[in-house]
Structure 1
Amino acid sequence: MSAYLLGNLLGRLVLSYALIWLVMWLMLARLNWRDAFRRTHHWSGVIAITTTFLIGLIATQTNGGAP
């Protein structure tokens, strides 16, 4: 596994986490950052992060963006 691929995967995972945390913070936690972290680490948050990550990977592969 090259450093480029590892960086790409880790970057996508971090951005997926940040996106789900932002949604939790704005919509469900009512701007309480501690509650947003708790909701993100709940099983439903982990599934949302994983789904977002996998959708990004699938979209990249179908468009031919990854070498």
Structure 2
Amino acid sequence: ITGEHGVGMEKRQHMPAMFAETDLEVMATLRRGLDPAELANRGKMFPGSEAPALHSRGPHPLEQQGIISRE
């Protein structure tokens, strides 16, 4: 699924094809032990989890300068 980087939201639905259900449960248990408040990448690591809505913090500094545009 991945190399040295994380799985990513677009690939997480493929994890059950690569890992057994018990493997995914062990991974989730380990994650809960290391990050019980789910502060890091909440909802982004396992299939079936709901990712939080993305919030924009306003225009990027390059947008403000007219260098880039999201349109």
Report the TM-score when normalising by structure 2: 0.29
Structure with the largest fraction of helix: 1
Task: Please say which structure displays the higher CA radius of gyration.
Answer: 2
